[in-house]
Amino acid sequence: SQSAKYLSGDASAINDFLDKFDTFLIDCDGVLWSGDHLFEGIPQTIDLLRSRGKRTVFVTNNSTKSRAEYTKKFAAKGISCNEEDVFGSSYSAAVYINRIMKLPAPRNKVFVLGEVGIETELQAENVPFIGGTDPALRRDITDADFAGLADGSLLDPDVGVVLAGLDYHINYLKLATAYQYLRRGAKFLATNTDSTLPSHHAFFPGAGSCLIPLTNMIRQEPLALGKPSQAMMDAVEGKFQLDRSRTCMIGDRLNTDILFGVEGKLGGTLAVLTGVNKKADWEANEAPARPAYYVDGLADLLAVTK
């Protein structure tokens, strides 16, 4: 396969690159910032893309924040962005449940393993849910719980979906409850299946690792609604009326972002080296996906203005 074209420091190559696309799908963590640390020149780079008439859509697998909360983070970092420009894995999952699965009531309730971002987006789509941040589940399991989960008296008969994302309060009681719903036929969905959660200093367990106990018990993978799932691409395409051939995915992670763009048959993919993966990763034989272009950091695109 062709090797990725390096754009850093090459203004004319960057110009040619920009001319190929109308829309940029931009991953957030590892591209714009790392956790809370904004990379240098990012607001200016987003402004550059927009000044060239490009549409910018922020596509993140982080399920812990809703689009509204993400919009606040963008504002705090000096990047102008409204809720409509953000597409998160929680939103993707809520839209999928409400508009694609269309489970007949009353068996359309969702048991959530995850944080408030999932709850907010389910509410926005009018999807009923339980679990999530409910403090009643943040405790040790008791003998009464085992009995009530076994005979079903502690289970809500309306639950038809288990939706798992990153849950900072994961515990045995929640896993046992989710498992009983799955055993009773609930559909298994995940906001995203990132194995790790990158932070500024180290890697931590990601959403895909929190739900492994469930896949281990039911021997079935969840349907994931975040990158690289093409269910998410279809939802993004439907919402923004994408011309895929004129759309470029920008990201730091090969097995989520770049694979998302490649499998979605986008016109291009741009890898940045400010996040999870390095050049050697896509040059390896077992690379999950290979980008068409790469830069050291997204702000290197600013070279065209110098």
Using CB under 6 A, list all residues that contact ligand PLP.
27-30, 60-62, 64, 166, 194, 197, 207
| Cα 50-235-292 angle, rounded to 5 deg | 55
Gap between the Cα atoms of 96 and 90, Å rounded: 10
Residue 61 beta carbon to ligand PLP: minimum distance, rounded to whole angstroms: 3
* Nearer to ligand PLP (CB atom), residue 171 or residue 245: 171
Q: Which range in 30-38, 45-53, 172-180, 258-266 contacts Ca ion by CB under 5 A?
A: 30-38
Angle at 278 between CA 275 and CA 279, to 5 degrees: 140
Rounded distance between C-alpha atoms, residue 34 and residue 10, angstroms: 25
Residue closer to Ca ion, measured from CB, 61 or 180: 61
Q: How far apart are CA 181 and CA 146, in angstroms?
A: 14
294 bridge partner residues: 6, 271
| 60 or 92: CB nearest ligand PLP | 60
Of 6, 1, 2, whose CA–CA distance to 270 is shortest?
Answer: 6
Examine residue 27 and tell whether it contacts Ca ion (CB under 5 A). yes
Q: Residue 281: name its binding partner from Ca ion, ligand PLP, none (Cβ under 5 to 8 Å by kind).
A: none
CB 276 within 8 A of CB 252: yes
Q: Does 85 bind Ca ion (CB under 5 A)?
A: no
Stated length of the chain: 306
Sheet holding 268-272, edge to edge: 5-6, 293-295, 268-272, 247-251, 23-26, 55-60, 86-88
Residue type, position 281, single letter: D
4, 17, 21, 29: which one binds Ca ion (CB under 5 A): 29
The site partner of 85 among Ca ion, ligand PLP, none (C-beta below 5 to 8 Å per kind) is none
Instruction: Return the number of other C-beta atoms located less than 10 Å from residue 138's C-beta.
Output: 12
Residue (29 or 85) nearer to Ca ion, CB = 29
Q: In whole angstroms, what is the distance from residue 103 CA to residue 155 CA?
A: 18
The least CB distance from residue 162 to ligand PLP, in Å, is 18
> Exposed, middle or buried, 133 (CB in 10 Å: 0-12/13-18/19+)?
middle
Structure tokens at 146: 């085992």
Residue 184: CB minimum distance to Ca ion, A: 35
Span of 32-40, 166-174, 208-216, 245-253 interacting with Ca ion by CB under 5 A: 245-253
Q: Which does 194 bind (CB under 5 to 8 A by kind): ligand PLP, Ca ion, none?
A: ligand PLP
Q: How far is the CB of 23 from Ca ion (least distance, A)?
A: 18
Query: Minimum distance between the CB of residue 170 and Ca ion, rounded to whole angstroms?
Result: 22
Q: Confirm or reject binding of residue 30 to Ca ion (CB under 5 A).
A: yes
| Sequence-ordered list of residues with C-beta below 8 angstroms from that of 47, at least 6 positions apart, any chain | none
Provide the minimum distance between the beta carbon of 217 and ligand PLP in the complex, in angstroms, as a whole number.
23
Give the up-direction half-sphere exposure of residue 277: CA atoms within 13 A in the CB hemisphere. Answer: 26
22 catalytically annotated: yes
- Site size with Ca ion, rule: CB under 5 A: 4
Partner residues linked to 178 by β-bridges: none
**Catalytic site residue from 16, 19, 22, 156:** 22
Q: Which is nearer to ligand PLP, 70 or 188 (CB)?
A: 70
* Segment near Ca ion (CB under 5 A); pick from 183-191, 247-255, 262-270, 283-291: 247-255
CB nearer to Ca ion: give 90 or 108. 90
> Which of Ca ion, ligand PLP, none binds 90 (CB below 5-8 Å, type-dependent)?
none
Provide the binding-site residues for Ca ion, judged by CB under 5 A.
Answer: 27, 29-30, 252
